[in-house]
Structures are given as structure tokens and as C-alpha cells.
Amino acid sequence: MGPMIPSLDQAAARALLAFWRSAGVDMDEAEAIYAAAPAKTAAAAPQHKPPLERPSAPPVAAPRLRRAAESPVDGARALAQAASTIAELRTAVSAFEGCALKATARNTVFSDGVEGAPVLIIGEAPGKDEDEQGKPFVGRSGQLLDRMLATIGLDRKSNVLISNTIYWRPPGNRDPTQGEIVACLPFVERLIELSRPKLLILTGKAAAHTVLKREDGVMKLRGRRLTHSREGLEAPINAMVMLHPAYLLRQPQQKRLAWNDLLLVDAWLRELGVDRAPQS
């Protein structure tokens, strides 16, 4: 017998997930089913079968397009622009209701580290551990990231701020959709603007493509001195793309490339005058 969730509507499925979660049930499997539910439902059971012989019906009026001012992206932009500090931006992200992922997430995961740090790292999306703790990169890939950063004197207590491309865990850890990414982008861009880091590090494809607006693969973008510039930024920001630590956990032989990237970060930060504690 197939899963029951596809027969429920979205609101009921969400309520059921919330109930299970509050009862302490591990949500991973249920969230994966929920994530797949809309497509399966549509394919398996069309909601409205057309009658065999349909009398010619008057055309149904198309739903009125939402005014641009009501779109999630415009809402995000307005909230982001109104924030004049990173602390205000955090509050704005928590108040944002334009990303559907919020409904299934336990926590908003915005940032961890030093606000105004010389290095800003942007990853992809919170996973299970991040969702539980409300902090980015605290699971296995986060621990690897911390160890990598430590080799060149970087850490979230002194000189790094870490955030993500989206702020809520996608159910079942699926990839974020373009809609979810676009809805959060104004906050990502505002964080970069307010942080004005000496070096922006983008880990993985989602962050690299979203922030740099380039389609090249991560293997092509990584290990190079790039810049991030866009309207509204006072000056271009130094940027680098690195392999995502979750990818390195799956492909440990690629740590060699990651090490080369770290050496470049180290050299670039030295040129930029970013002092760090000597390594033991």
C-alpha cells in the first residue's frame, strides 16, 4: 500500500507533520514523503475528471494576478531593505512568511559567528541538525567546515560569519527549489551588503550560482579570485567558490582540491591584511 499523505491536502499534511513532530517522532521519512506528495497526487489521482460529454461551459475567469507589491520576493526585498543592521536582518528573516519551507521547519536558521567579520561564508540550506539547533553548519558537514577553517586561523568565534542561501530546512533534505531560493535572495544580498566582508566564500552550487549569477559548475568556479558586484553595492566584493563540505564527506578524494582552495583563501586574506591567530 502506498503512503497515505498524498491523499491529504497540503494544510492537513502540514498539520499532521507538526503533530508527529510535537510527539517526538523522527520526521525524516515523513518529510521525504511530504516533499514528493504533490507530484504523486497529481499523477495518481486527478482531482477533477472531465465529464465524457461536456456542455460548452462559459469560460472560467482566470484568477487575478497578485499585484507585484504582494509577491514574496517584493515582501522579502522590503523587509531586507528596512534592516539597517545584521541583527535587524535576522529579525526580518524570522518574520518573513513568503517561503513555504517555514511551515515544515522547526527553526529559522539565519547565521552563526561574528557579525561584521572579515570573512562571510554562505552555504546552501539547513539540514536536520541545523533545523533542530537553529544554527547553520552544526552537523557533520559543519564540523568538517570548522576543521578546515581552523587550519588557516578562521573560526566563528573570532573572524567568520556563516549563513545560507535559504533559511529553512527543505523537507527530507531535498534541494531547494528556484522559488525558495529567489524568495530568500533579497536577505542574502542584504546580508552581504551589511557585512561588507573582505572575502565572501560561497560553498557549493546553490550559493555560487545564486550570489554570482553564473551558471558555471562549481569545479570551474572554485579556486579562483572572483568578485561579487551588483547594483546597490558600494564596491565589488572579493569572492571565492569552494567545494561544499557535504560533497567532501561523500567524495573525500576531493579534499586535495579543498586544501588548495584553503591555501588561496589564506594567501588572499594575508594580502588583505586580515590577521589571524598563528596556527599550532
Residues of the shown chain interacting with ligand URA in the complex, contacts defined by CB under 6 A: 123-127, 130, 136-137, 139, 141-142, 164, 246
CB atoms within 10 A of CB 89: 25
Q: Minimal distance in Å, beta carbon 70 to ligand URA?
A: 30
Q: Which is nearer to ligand URA, 29 or 175 (CB)?
A: 175
Q: Which is nearer to ligand URA, 86 or 125 (CB)?
A: 125
Q: Which is nearer to ligand URA, 41 or 164 (CB)?
A: 164
- Residue labelled with grid coordinates 584553503: 262
Q: Minimal distance in Å, beta carbon 129 to ligand URA?
A: 8
The values of phi and psi at residue 241, to 5°, are: -105, 135
Question: Strand 237-242 and strand 226-228: pairing?
Answer: antiparallel
Residues 6+ apart with CB under 8 A from 131: 105, 106, 107, 109, 168, 169
Distances 63 to 67, 97, 183 between C-alpha atoms, Å: 12, 22, 22
Q: Minimal distance in Å, beta carbon 188 to ligand URA?
A: 12
When CB distances to ligand URA are compared, the closest residue is: 123
Q: Which is nearer to ligand URA, 6 or 142 (CB)?
A: 142
Tell me the three cell numbers of residue 177: 527549489
Nearest C-alpha neighbor of 264 from the set 218, 224, 205: 224
Q: Minimal distance in Å, beta carbon 223 to ligand URA?
A: 19
Q: Which is nearer to ligand URA, 176 or 186 (CB)?
A: 176
DSSP 222: B
Q: Which is nearer to ligand URA, 98 or 126 (CB)?
A: 126
Residues 6+ apart with CB under 8 A from 150: 279
- With b meaning 16 or more CB within 10 Å and e meaning fewer, what string describes 5-26? bbeeeeeebeeebeeeeeeeee
DSSP 70-130: GSHHHHHHHHHHH--SHHHHHHHHHH----GGGGT-SS---EEE-TT-SEEEEES---HHH
Q: Minimal distance in Å, beta carbon 186 to ligand URA?
A: 19
Q: Which is nearer to ligand URA, 5 or 125 (CB)?
A: 125
Q: Minimal distance in Å, beta carbon 11 to ligand URA?
A: 28
Q: Minimal distance in Å, beta carbon 126 to ligand URA?
A: 5
